[in-house]
Structure 1
Amino acid sequence: MPGDNHGDVSSEGPPADRAKDMDLYGWLIGSWDLETLHHRNDGTIQKWDGECHFGWVLEGRAIQDIWIRPRRPAPSTMYGTTLRVFDPGMGGWHIIWSDPLNQDYSRQIGRAEGKDIVQMGADSRGLQARWRFTEITAGSFHWIGEERRAESDPWRVTYEHFARRTGS
């Protein structure tokens, strides 16, 4: 990641025995500009720009990212990180999100669904959360964050990120 200060935890890439399994998120490695939409409860939409950076960590056995909104040097309203670790035993990914600025934490399981990546879990408020990477290309993706209170409730889009690659 640019400005990487991970020291001994950063890695050049995945180990050979895990390389294929790491492909689901490995394409994200690098830096991205974001256009973010917050779909508020009152029906209005708030817009920001932002940035995110993805890199290999822990001997290439995990991918860590940093999401920043708005783009620096503006003061942050969201500054969080995700650790993604592949679990060969379940054939999926453990996703751990932490935004200490807003005290927002989430644990999810990520898997491929068709051409998309879908992460399911609960957020720090106890709501069900579904985060999806869609419209994936080498240079862009659309991230959709949805939530609901119960299985019987419809999913409600709360955030969207439209990302464009800026560097490797």
Structure 2
Amino acid sequence: MDASQIDFAAVLHAQGPDPERAETLQLYGRFVGSWDAEITAHGADGISHQARGEIHFGWVLQGRAIQDVWMIPRLSERSTAPVFPIAGNWYGTTIRVYDPTIDAWRIYWIDPATNAFRQQIGRAQGPDIVQEGTTESGVHTRWSFTEITTNSFHWLGEAKPAGSPDWRLVVEVRAQRR
């Protein structure tokens, strides 16, 4: 078979987690599936904006990683929705890979729709998942999954400029499994 006959989606996607790592991979594996999302973006001026979005998680790379796609607005509304204030219209993907050498997850967010590229390290913190990193301009980021149940989660996107003692909530997402 030559390269033109290979189904890219078939070689990327996996049916489930790598059996050797299945338990560890459930930190994010529990999110596999499709989610409806209500997003609130919080401006530094105290004004908030709401939008609807969707999130899709799946197993990839022979079940050794989780990949997701986050969209604001929903796919069915993309052609007619205005630009979402503060956060922009997302159409990005995250690759999440567990790294046993640091006992944590390496997180790579890529959103060509908003020209955002982030690297973070993620770990469980009690019942939550907390991911932290630093942007190219030195802003610290913290993205947290909280209030996690089988059918819902609350995601918080926070930022702290270099030298600032305080985190500021920028975006929050309330997700419900479809």
TM range (shorter): over 0.9
Letter in 2 for 1:147: A
Matches within 5 A, 1:10-159: 10-75=13-78, 77-150=89-162, 152-159=164-171
Residues 67 and 80 in structure 1, CA contact (< 8 A), matched pair in contact too:
yes
Which stretches in structure 1 are left out of the alignment for 5+ residues? none
Which is higher, the Rg of structure 1 or of structure 2? 2
Q: Which has the higher strand share?
A: 1
TM-score (structure 2 length as normaliser): 0.87
1:98 and 1:43 map into 2 onto residues whose CA distance is: 27
1:84 and 1:151 map into 2 onto residues whose CA distance is: 29
Residues 50 and 71 in structure 1, CA contact (< 8 A), matched pair in contact too:
yes
* Cα drift, residue 40 of structure 1: 0.8
Letter in 2 for 1:28: F
What percent identity do the matched residue pairs reach? 48
* Cα drift, residue 74 of structure 1: 1.7
What CA deviation, in whole Å up to 9, does each residue of 1:20-64 have, x standing for no partner? 110110100000000000001111001000000000000000000
1:52 and 1:125 map into 2 onto residues whose CA distance is: 27
Number of residue-to-residue matches in the alignment: 162
2:11 paired with 1:8: yes
CA shift in 2, pair 1:133/1:151, >3 Å: farther
Give the secondary-structure state (helix, strand or coil) at the position aligned to 1:23.
Answer: helix
TM-score (structure 1 length as normaliser): 0.93
